[in-house]
Amino acid sequence: MTDAPKPSNFLRTIIRDDLAAGRVSGVVTRFPPEPNGYLHIGHAKSICVNFGLAQEFGGVCNLRFDDTNPSTEDVEYVDSIIRDVSWLGYAWDGEVRYASDYFETLYGWAQHLVREGLAYVCELGPEDMRQYRGTLTEPGRNSPWRERPAPESLELLARMRQGAIEEGRMTLRARIDMGSPNLNLRDPVLYRVKHAHHHRTGNAWHIYPSYDFAHGQEDAIEHVTHSICTLEFEDHRPLYEWFIANLPVPSRPRQYEFARLNLSYTITSKRKLRQLVEEGHVQGWDDPRMPTISGLRRRGVSPGSIRDFVERTGVSRSDGLVDLGMFEYCIRDDLDKNAPRAMCVLRPLKVTLTNYPEGQHNELLVMAHPQRLDLGQRVLPFSRELWIDREDFRMEASKDYKRLVLGAEVRLRNAYVIRADEVVRDAAGEIVELRCSYDPDTLGKNPADGRKVKGVIHWVEASRALDCEVRLYDRLFRDAQPDAGERNFLDNLNPDSLQVLAGCKAERSLADAALGQTFQFEREGYFCRDPEPAANGQVVFNRTIGLRDVWSEAGKG
């Protein structure tokens, strides 16, 4: 994949035209998550779109929590969302906002609708309400309480608020049109009774507004100019506009919809993500295999690569499936440019340089990044005993094998040419050590006699190596559409999505790596330091992504 120009964005055109025509004097957008779970890559697109457009046009974006369902919400989710938005590089306007900030105003507007004959208290239960609602091909039927006098509805609404009505017995509904072809206009529910403790308002309220009733009015209160949401809310737009037209709101926002991000090999359903966590298929919401922003952060994915990916996918009104390989390309491209280099041996095999002086320790100075002088240099200890990767040695060579072979030479990355002279085996016949010789005249140059050395392998000096645990993460699902059709998405879990390698050997300098810092482990891939140590106290490195797209190469993607 090569660098591509940024795709067009129809929302940019709308905002540019609105500003040019004077329909708005400034741009105000908002990101309104429900605090009932952790944000995922799909939410990241909405964050980037809303905050990005506001930035682009010199406007502001509000962070507002739609905390209207206390039974599913938690401060843990609020805190995680605030952290995620900040980590992605965005700053909201003013203080964090909440739907609960406006509960009193919304209640007053509900009373206004009742007084205007545009809302009523209904006593249909949930099942009867579904029956009365009708279908896509059949109109709904009026509730028996649709003509309830306004004073009676106002009195019942007050009792609902006070907690005098049990859950499920009454709702407040808008009086719109039970024959509308749009089901959202068939007298939608504005308030439900819910005796649940709210994380901000405590037990002050016993009724909570529906999302449809709350979010448009919140937009109006905050003078939002462009209320941008995903396509599943397109059919809700007439209701959004009905509320704005029939309430004494201080401004008149407009709603616009774009296609949500659908990513192959990925689940973004909150319910299914919660199932993965609660059933122990992953190790938490921030498991590096999860598509949550916290999981991506723990895996070592950078905010810049996510923003780049969102920009490349574009903003359109057509749903489609984006290849996960495109996201992985953005991750690799970012890390290739920015991640310092280091060496880590995942499957250690001891090497003794028999002609290197015993007790002598040298230090080799190498670039931290081959193209980034600003990242400085790093020190590589070197001595008689080293570690190399077990997979980098064979007794006999094959045609395409360009690593160390008994009796042949290979170059140590950033160091000398060595030759494998002898193997040492244990009682079971397993190779446990290589006895090699090194050419002291090959540091940074080819052998003087013109010998051709084709292979290069990585290594770590033994006495000062950092013992660590490495976790090799891969795609969580084997199928590009793990929950398509009637299939159980759990049947498509990739059993090889995590391999834990203990006893790995890394450069000693990595002991000082910051939590979450990402490196390219040369010849292995990109890895970041996990915020938690292993069970034995050792440093843990998570594989962010491999150096190549092995899924496409293997015909899997």
> Which residue in the list 34, 123, 234, 433 is annotated as catalytic?
34
CA distances to 338, 358, 393, 435, 525 from 387, in Å:
27, 16, 12, 12, 18
DSSP codes joined into one string, 170-213? -EEEE-S-TT-SSGGGSS-EEEEE----BTTTBTS-SEEE-HHH
- The verdict on whether 34 is a catalytic residue reads yes
The closest alpha carbon to 522, from 335, 326, 395, 376, belongs to: 335
Cα-Cα-Cα-Cα dihedral sign, residues 439, 440, 444, 449: negative
Catalytic residue selected from 186, 270, 312, 475: 270
Q: Which one is catalytic: 252, 260, 390, 413?
A: 260
Report the distance separating Cα 533 and Cα 342, nearest Å. Answer: 19
Q: Give backbone dihedrals phi and psi of 47, rounded to 5 degrees, phi first.
A: -60, -50
3-state helix, strand, coil in the chain (%, to 5): 30, 25, 45
* Residue keyed to tokens 């996918």: 313
DSSP string, 66-85: ----GGG--HHHHHHHHHHH
DSSP 523: T
Dig out the tokens for 402 from the structure.
């360009």
Classify the C-alpha dihedral 344-459-390-465 as positive or negative.
negative
> 12-21 burial by CB neighbour count: b if 16+ within 10 A, else e?
eebbeebbee
The two three-digit tokens of residue 432, written as one number: 């446990």
Please name which of 81, 44, 56 lies closest in space to residue 322, comparing C-alpha atoms: 44
Residue 260 known to be catalytic: yes
Q: How far apart are CA 415 and CA 281, in angstroms?
A: 43
* Whole-angstrom distance, CA of residue 115 vs CA of residue 151: 8
The beta strand positions in 60-164, using DSSP E, are: 60-65, 97-98, 119-122
CA torsion sign for 113, 117, 118, 121 is positive
Q: Which residues are catalytic?
A: 34, 260, 270
